[in-house]
Amino acid sequence: MPGTSTPSTSSRTRRPRPGRSRRVLAVIALATAVVTAVLALALGRGAAGGGTAAPATVSTPEAQEPANPHLLALARRDGDDPLALGSPDAPVVLIEYSDFQCPFCGRFARETKPDLVRDYVDKGILRIEWRNFPVFGAESDQAARAGWAAGQQNRFWQFHDEAYAEPRRRNAGDFSEDNLLAMARKAGVEDLARFEKDMASEAAHQAVTRDSEEGYGIGVTSTPAFLINGRPVLGAQPTDVFTDIIDEAAEQARQQEDGDE
């Protein structure tokens, strides 16, 4: 879609993944076939400042096809995962692939996530699982490792909210080590020496790589990208797009549970 003055709701990645094109295209084609019955999303694919997003529509629950089992199975449902919110047994899981330097991820964090937590996570309906998907260079990688390190002291979501508290410049020092340390301090991370050690650790690198490879493996090409019970949603769409899909997914989960009894 040609660029316009209206900002896109997603930021494209900048890191090519050679050797994966056939696999990625095959998965995208499969996901698109599933999503057609669920969403009619005309999404801007431009980089920050370019492209536009058309209004999204949601089909009725009766028109929905089953979610892609491969994508549905990506929900980890690990009760000890510090980068997740909500019950592991929640009927709906939202997986978010995000970069702390992505402005549209910040928009979702500030404008939509609080409503989802209040209306769905706190009521046991929704679980949110974060995936680090750093795509904008060294500061993105560093911020991802910092988020993981904060999670080792059970302060990931506090760090997340601090990192996204306001729009920040990309690759201009806003996510330098000193600033990340300050964010961790504001987020209530108690052992800052451990935080710094964890941030630089091989375990942090491996955790971020695992998340990134998962995203690339299913064809994620921009941030933020979401899976809601296996159904893809791209970009910081309006809150009601998310709530409509969550409501439908929760209803389908209830119907399936009733049918299994």
Least confident of 53-62, 118-127, 180-189, 249-258: 53-62
Check pLDDT > 50 for residue 247: yes
Q: Using one digit for the tens of pLDDT, what is the confidence trace for 81-133?
A: 999 999 999 999 999 999 999 999 999 999 999 999 999 999 999 999 999 99
Mean pLDDT confidence for 150-158: 98
Q: Using one digit for the tens of pLDDT, what is the confidence trace for 155-212?
A: 999 999 999 999 999 999 999 999 999 999 999 999 999 999 999 999 999 999 999 9
Residue 255 and residue 229: Cα distance in Å, rounded? Answer: 14
> Is beta strand 222-223 parallel, antiparallel or unpaired with respect to 11-12?
antiparallel
Q: Label residue 261 by pLDDT band (50, 70, 90).
A: low
Closest CA to 11 of 129, 112, 128, 135: 135
Q: Label residue 41 by pLDDT band (50, 70, 90).
A: very low
Mean pLDDT confidence for 69-83: 96
For the question of whether the overall pTM of this predicted structure is more than 0.85, the answer is no
Check pLDDT > 70 for residue 232: yes
Residue 124 and residue 216: Cα distance in Å, rounded? Answer: 30
Q: What percent of the chain has pLDDT over 70?
A: 75
Q: What is the mean pLDDT of the chain?
A: 83
Residue 193, judged by CB atoms within 10 A of its CB (0-12, 13-18, 19+), counts as exposed
